[in-house]
Amino acid sequence: MSETAHLVLEDGTTFTGRAFGAEVEATGEVVFTTAMTGYQEALTDPSFAGQILMMTYPLQGNYGVSDFDIESNRVQVRGFVVRESCDMPSHWRSTGTLHEYLASAGIPAIEGIDTRALTRKIRSAGVMMGAITQEEPETAIAKLREAQRYDGTDFVSEVTAPEPFSWDDPERKQYNIAVLDLGVKHNILRILRGLGSKTTVVPSMTSAKDILALKPDGIVMSPGPGDPALLDYAVATAKELVGKVPIFGICLGHQVLARMWGAKSYKLKFGHRGANHPVRDEATGRVTITAQNHGYAIDPDGLPSELEVSHVHLNDGTCEGLRHRELPILTIQYHSEASPGPRDDRYLFERFLGLVEEVRKP
């Protein structure tokens, strides 16, 4: 377990630490999140597909892993980087260690490196491709230059559900919600169910016609990984849905809707990933702390006048949400479903279901 491993970056930077998890190699875009808790939720978040995730909080695995903390059916990251992985976790419901969990998922990880130095590197140079390897760093870097690029890859098609499925709570059911799965997190379904919805999750390639055939009261366009510019098919689907039912676009779903209205997307230098991002709701002036995980953003210039920016990121002023002046559509760039992260923005699900309710009223 204490085999030496390297994390190499495409610019030649090498960090040497100890391997844990699966004894395989991985390449991916190296990103960091500043969330201090919720490593298992992050590992299973489809939005991290294609990426090697580094946690800036140094101690990970403290409370082990459990079936309660998963956000999708598998570990989604390509690799995992921490300062220290805990081998003696403590939580009554823990069923194993982080190492065991990653090993059985076939995901390599590295610990013992100066993760703060790595963060500083990424924050100043921007995200870049990297690899976790036990080979000589030079070999790995050479191979890395040949590897498939994160930016040009459609990861949505890798993470979306192969078949539709439903979450239901027959006793509390009031709404029928369709979820276009671009990489949905279970907590979106959990919250909607908690608020009295039956959710039907459909694969990302599902046509608008098939979605509307479900007779949904509302549609959620889910978060997911990668560049929204690669998702013309989803943009086309969105175009046919708009105006027919209330829509809630979250993260990648927000970006797809914005693209449909003509906005351009662009890549952020090192993304927004963490649980401490302040966002101001322009309607109330109130700031909430949000969970975020996105590497691309939307430039709201060029949006038609029926749309207004409803939420703004306090740190860099980026667009964090849109509201349609006429149609029952709201979108947000961050993760109102949290998990991991603060629950300040749960109100958005209620706001969305409020729109659904209004539309259903004859």
Q: Which of 25, 62, 128, 351 binds other proteins (CB under 8 A)?
A: 62
Does the annotation count 6 as an active-site position? no
Stretch that binds other proteins, among 50-58, 126-134, 156-164, 249-257 (CB under 8 A): 50-58
Residue with smaller CB distance to other proteins, 143 or 346: 346
Q: For residues 231 and 297, what is the distance between their CA atoms, to the nearest angstrom? A: 14
Four-residue CA torsion sign, 295, 247, 235, 283 = negative
Q: Is 173 in the site for other proteins (CB under 8 A)?
A: no
Name residues contacting other proteins, limited to 181-240 (CB under 8 A). Answer: 190, 194
How does DSSP classify residue 96? Answer: B
**Cα separation values, 91 from 67, 83, 198, 244, 344, Å:** 13, 21, 32, 47, 26
Stretch that binds other proteins, among 58-66, 131-139, 155-163, 255-263 (CB under 8 A): 58-66
Does the annotation count 251 as an active-site position? yes
Q: For residues 247 and 237, what is the distance between their CA atoms, to the nearest angstrom? A: 12
What's the token pair of residue 117?
A: 């130095």
Does the annotation count 86 as an active-site position? no
Candidate list 41, 71, 251, 277, residue with the active-site label: 251
Contact 195, 353 (CB under 8 A): yes
Residue with smaller CB distance to other proteins, 128 or 147: 128
Residue with smaller CB distance to other proteins, 91 or 209: 91
Q: Which of 96, 164, 203, 342 binds other proteins (CB under 8 A)?
A: 342
CB atoms < 10 A from the CB of 147, how many?
15
Residue with smaller CB distance to other proteins, 157 or 276: 276
Q: For residues 126 and 109, what is the distance between their CA atoms, to the nearest angstrom? A: 21
Q: Which of 162, 170, 285, 362 binds other proteins (CB under 8 A)?
A: 285
Q: Which of 3, 92, 162, 215 binds other proteins (CB under 8 A)?
A: 92
Q: Which of 105, 235, 289, 327 binds other proteins (CB under 8 A)?
A: 289
* 278 DSSP β-pair partners: 289
Q: For residues 264 and 255, what is the distance between their CA atoms, to the nearest angstrom? A: 9
**Cα separation values, 114 from 6, 16, 33, 135, 137, Å:** 12, 9, 15, 20, 17
- Interface ranges with other proteins (CB under 8 A): 15, 32, 34-38, 41, 56-59, 62-63, 68-69, 83-84, 86, 88-93, 113-117, 119-120, 123-124, 190, 194, 270, 274-278, 280, 285-289, 314-315, 338-344
**Catalytic positions:** 251, 335, 337
